[in-house]
Chain A
Amino acid sequence: MRRLRTPRIAALALLTAGLAACDATPLPLGMERGTELFETCAPCHGANAAGNPDIAAPAIAGLPQWYIEDQLRGYQEGYRGDHYTDLAGLRMRPMALSLTREGDIESVAEYVAGLDPVYPESTLHGNAGAGATTYTQICVACHGVDGLGMPELHAPPIVQLNDWYLYQELQNFRSGARGAAPGDTWGLTMRANSLALSDEVMQDVIAYVQTLR
């Protein structure tokens, strides 16, 4: 019995020291943490973040980091994805809320931004020719000639997103399910530009956006 005690105390001390060391090492951030976190996104957005139409999760691969951060903050603070008609947004919101650790939003955004955009196939049948007029008259001011967005206006690239998702978001902007909540500074600027669009015009302009790829 006597003999056993010393190693036991030593083991205990080692364990305590080990645990203390764990505490002291800085938590992983950046790509390492981002890769880890993305495992929780993959079930819905897909392994390459190519999206999944069945649950209305868009292809977020390659969106810019600042935009992903913007949106994740929006979901967390409830100015996006907290409206009773926004079924897809309500599904995404708890996922953003689970990014609780400091630096998580930035880390996962960096990881997703580093993935290659996938340019999913078209599913709608708008008239791209008719859409061109609308695009060059309105949208171009913020989303740019090539649809790649303008960071200084917080307008995201829209060329690599699924067309059904763009349609869904335009509908959300128009109905006020997105971009109407106080606090959503940038959503407000987009919502103003969606109010006059009919369903048909939306589909046309989306068809045009897809030709910019």
Chain B
Amino acid sequence: MERFLIQASTYAGSIDGVIMLIALLVGFWFLLAEGIFFWLIWKFRARPGEKSQYLTGKEKHVKRWITIPHALVLLCDVFIIIASVRVWYDVKQQLPEADSTIRVIGQQWAWTFQHPGIDNELDTDDDIYTVGDLHVEVEKTYHFQLQSRDVLHSFSVPVFRLKQDAIPGRSITGWFQATETGDHDVQCAEICGIGHGIMAARIHIEDAQTHAQWIADASAATTP
């Protein structure tokens, strides 16, 4: 999956892993089932002089075709559930210690980001507000507080495999840690009105030095 879209967060790989596991298991059963169907269609195709017969499906040797695969599919489900619960726990249920906290605010139709500034504390005078540009440092754990000013939005960072709905009136906390530097897209993944499709932003993942420099420059420039 890395080939389609780079994995730039600590949990991107494990989310892709679950998607891959599901694709493989479901794909295997899909191909097998379709193969058997077509084989049966071909094997019992219409032949002159042969009447078709009605099967009730009650006989043991007929029912086997359903019950055995059914049990096997359920077994596969167990694997999927175990894998996904583990990932879900890692991404959504636990909250690793934060190096820094940012606030992400969705509104029709822009993302506003509140960065903590030099003191690394949110809601102080040196906070840096930006529209459409989120700056984070690589290999640092961030908590985000996700809010909406009007309707439902969804904060989506594809390279992180992160997606979280923003709900008006609530502040939703989540976390991420970027694993490589680079500039990537941030999207809105919940229909939020006429401008939804162009409610895009950029995330700038910077090394420590570049990030410190950005904070210094931005603090000097902002007078909210």
Contacts and interface: CB of A to CB of B under 8 A. Distances in A.
B110 to A, nearest CB: 4
In this complex, the member of B112, B129, B131 whose beta carbon has the largest number of chain A beta carbons within 10 angstroms is B131
A95 B195 CA distance: 7
In this complex, the member of B105, B130, B198 whose beta carbon has the largest number of chain A beta carbons within 10 angstroms is B198
Nearest to B196: A94
Interface stretch (A3-11, A80-88, A157-165): A80-88
A91 B195 contact: yes
Contacts of B107: 87, 90-91
Interface string A172-211: 0000100000000000000000000000000000000000
Contact of B131 (A84, A91, A95, A98): A84
Nearest to A98: B198
B112 A84 contact: yes
Contacts of B112: 84
A87 B131 CA distance: 11
Contacts of A84: 105, 112, 129-131
B214 to A, nearest CB: 17
A151 interface: no
Contact of B110 (A43, A93, A95): A93
Contacts of B223: 176
A94 B198 contact: yes
Contacts of A44: 194
A82 B198 CA distance: 14
Instruction: State which size class the interface on B falls in.
Output: 10 to 19
B224 to A, nearest CB: 8
B199 A94 contact: yes
Contacts of B149: 87
A98 B197 CA distance: 10
A2 to B, nearest CB: 33
Contacts of B194: 43-44, 95
A97 interface: yes
A150 B112 CA distance: 35
A62 B220 CA distance: 41
B131 A83 contact: yes
Instruction: State which size class the interface on A falls in.
Output: 10 to 19
Contacts of A176: 223
A90 B109 contact: yes
A29 to B, nearest CB: 24
A84 B129 CA distance: 7
Interface string A134-161: 0000000000000000000000000000
A43 B109 CA distance: 15
B129 A94 contact: no
A91 B129 contact: no
A84 B106 CA distance: 11
Interface string B78-99: 0000000000000000000000
Nearest to A94: B195
30 contacts: A43-B194, A44-B194, A82-B131, A82-B132, A84-B105, A84-B112, A84-B129, A84-B130, A84-B131, A87-B149, A90-B107, A90-B108, A90-B109, A90-B110, A90-B131, A91-B107, A91-B108, A91-B109, A91-B195, A93-B109, A93-B110, A94-B109, A94-B110, A94-B195, A94-B198, A94-B199, A95-B194, A95-B195, A98-B198, A176-B223
Interface of B: 105, 107-110, 112, 129-132, 149, 194-195, 198-199, 223-224
Given A90-B131, A91-B195, A93-B109, 18 more contacts: A43-B194, A44-B194, A83-B131, A84-B105, A84-B129, A87-B107, A87-B149, A90-B107, A90-B110, A91-B107, A94-B110, A94-B195, A94-B199, A95-B194, A95-B195, A97-B198, A98-B198, A176-B223
